[in-house]
Amino acid sequence: MLLLQSKFTITSLKILQINKTDAGGGAAVAANRLNRALRRNGVESKLLVQDQHRDEEGVYPVGTGFTYKQKAFVRFAWERLTFLPYERNASVRFAFSPANTGIDITQHPLVQEADVIHLHWVNQGFLSIETLGKLLSCGKPIVWTQHDMWSFTGGCHYAGTCLEFLEFCSYCPFLRKSGKKDLSAQIFAKKRKIYNEAPLSIVTCSKWLRTLSQESKLLRRKNFYNIPNPIDTELYAPRDKDVVRERLGLPKDKKLILFGAANVNDPRKGMRYFIEALNILAENFPVVKDNTELVVFGKANAETVKLFPFKTHSLKFISDPETLVDLYSSADIYVLPSLQDNLPNTVMESIACGTPVVGFSIGGVPEMISHQESGYLAEVKNSLSLATGIYETLFVSDINKLGVNARQKAVDCYSEEVVAQQYKAVYESVLK
């Protein structure tokens, strides 16, 4: 065990971040950004992933080669296939992770040399509950940043209105055959067993998720910290709107509404309410219809795009940071109609670029947006309220002032240096 001196420097420690992948999805973005922020602020941090898509310093794959990649795919496919008989319907297929297959990484050199293990998102064939248990019992302090609710539920990533996880998961609404001893109950029992004596400290990105975690049966005895994800506020910064619109081929004489997600068709992303809100505006406010266009990025099929009552520019999935900064800077507002979310990276990216956000008052969003000061918080599942927020922000409010306030929030709360210092304190604490 390491002994800390009164003026111990965290820079001498080795921190290992662990995430399924280094790109694709909010957790991958957040883990990569944290790893980068720590390294830039003097901490020896490395990121270990199952699937590496980028060649970046400080990021390492568990393995390489054709055979390794094939085995990783088989684990992913096997976990999905074994869940098929249990799923209520296809809409929940990727909303529930049984974690019944995975690899043991406890003997990996980076795990062996690390002083602190820092977990992020480990599902879909990366770590099973069994191999996660081996990691938790390897004798090293474990920090786990939660990017959804999976760590304290019986398998779902977002529980919606279900509160069974507060005491013991069962009668799961995600399952075809739910009951007292259903699959969620079995998974919950396995997690309780591996968590029991684990030296586990929990980091939540939002106060909303912290409240749920602390009340859950599985984690309520653990230590908790509330730290947001970081963002490079030097990169994600406002750019000249006319310049970036010309670069992206977008009109300079229109109001642009931006909307995006890894999968915009996910019901949790609130597409239904967004479309309803846009129709309300198109039918009742000719000034909006005539002067506004929509920009959508992410996985959206052609059928969905046809439902928008405004001219739509579909840019598909974008991962290049420079293009994303152009995109956020080109928009007048970003709309987030999600019904359940933690601390969305898209909101953080948008406000860092000085673009106000209009969204439902859910999850960690109210912690990021001050109503009518840096954006607009609409009533949850209220399409009229969302439409009102879009209209007022675009045509009534001082949008420039909203953008300045939004940018300042990002700099004050989410910059790399601010977040890195908070995590340094956590690492020092778990080692005492």
Q: What is the DSSP string of 258-320?
A: EEEETTTT-GGG-HHHHHHHHHHHHHH-HHHHHHEEEEEEES--HHHHHT-SS-EEE------
- Positive or negative: CA dihedral 231, 235, 240, 245: negative
Write down the mean pLDDT value for the chain: 92
Q: What pLDDT is stored for residue 288 in this prediction?
A: 87
pLDDT band at 6; cut points 50, 70, 90: very low
Instruction: Give the percent of the chain with pLDDT over 90.
Output: 82
CATH of the domain at 278: 3.40.50.2000
Q: Are residues 69 and 183 in the same domain?
A: yes
pLDDT band at 401; cut points 50, 70, 90: very high
Q: What pLDDT is stored for residue 198 in this prediction?
A: 92
- Cα 293–Cα 297–Cα 298 angle in degrees, nearest 5: 150
Q: Are residues 147 and 254 in the same domain?
A: no
CA 340 to chain CA mean position, Å: 11
Average pLDDT estimate for 241-256: 96
Q: What pLDDT is stored for residue 319 in this prediction?
A: 77
5-19, 292-306, 354-368, 412-426: which range is least confident on average?
5-19
> Model pTM?
0.88
Q: Does pLDDT of 377 surpass 70?
A: yes
Residue 46 maps to a domain: yes
pLDDT band at 367; cut points 50, 70, 90: very high
- The encoded tokens of residue 199 equal 């030296």
Residue 397 maps to a domain: yes
Residue 139 maps to a domain: yes
Q: Are residues 25 and 105 in the same domain?
A: yes
Comparing 291 with 3, which gets the higher pLDDT? 291
pLDDT band at 154; cut points 50, 70, 90: very high
Q: Are residues 256 and 110 in the same domain?
A: no
Q: Does pLDDT of 361 surpass 70?
A: yes
Q: Are residues 196 and 270 in the same domain?
A: no
- The residues that bridge with 360 in the sheet, in sequence order, are 378
Q: Does pLDDT of 4 surpass 50?
A: no
Buried/exposed 186-204: b ≥16 CB within 10 Å, e otherwise: bbbebbeebbeebbbbbbb
Q: Which residues contact 74 (CB under 8 A, 6 or more apart)?
A: 125
Q: Are residues 215 and 112 in the same domain?
A: yes
pLDDT band at 268; cut points 50, 70, 90: confident
H-helix or E-strand spanning residue 346 = helix 345-352
Instruction: Provide the number of structural domains found in the chain.
Output: 2
Q: What pLDDT is stored for residue 54 in this prediction?
A: 86
Q: Are residues 116 and 222 in the same domain?
A: yes
49-58, 212-221, 273-282, 314-323: which range is least confident on average?
314-323
Place of tokens 């990025």: 297
Comparing 57 with 304, which gets the higher pLDDT? 57
Q: Does pLDDT of 5 surpass 60?
A: no
Q: What pLDDT is stored for residue 104 in this prediction?
A: 97
Residue 369, domain extent: 241-414
Q: What pLDDT is stored for residue 203 in this prediction?
A: 97
Residue 1 maps to a domain: no
Q: Are residues 390 and 400 in the same domain?
A: yes
Q: Are residues 90 and 199 in the same domain?
A: yes
4-8, 65-69, 102-106: which range is least confident on average?
4-8
Q: Are residues 404 and 424 in the same domain?
A: no
Instruction: Give the percent of the chain with pLDDT over 70.
Output: 96
Alpha-carbon span 159 to 149, nearest angstrom: 7
Average pLDDT estimate for 31-36: 95
Q: Does pLDDT of 423 surpass 70?
A: yes
Q: Does pLDDT of 406 surpass 90?
A: yes
Residue 2 maps to a domain: no
pLDDT band at 9; cut points 50, 70, 90: low
Q: Are residues 287 and 218 in the same domain?
A: no
Q: Are residues 102 and 219 in the same domain?
A: yes
pLDDT band at 262; cut points 50, 70, 90: low
Sheet containing strand 14-21, strands side by side: 59-61, 44-51, 14-21, 116-119, 142-146, 200-204, 223-226
Average pLDDT estimate for 319-329: 93
Q: Which residues contact 14 (CB under 8 A, 6 or more apart)?
A: 44, 46, 113, 114, 115, 116
**Contact call for residues 37 and 136 (beta carbons, < 8 A):** no
Residue 268 maps to a domain: yes
Task: Answer left, alpha or beta for residue 168, where phi above 0 means left and psi between -120 and 50 means alpha.
Answer: beta
Residue 3 maps to a domain: no
20-24, 43-47, 261-265, 396-400: which range is least confident on average?
261-265
Alpha-carbon span 250 to 412, nearest angstrom: 31
**Contact call for residues 235 and 321 (beta carbons, < 8 A):** yes
Residue 245 maps to a domain: yes
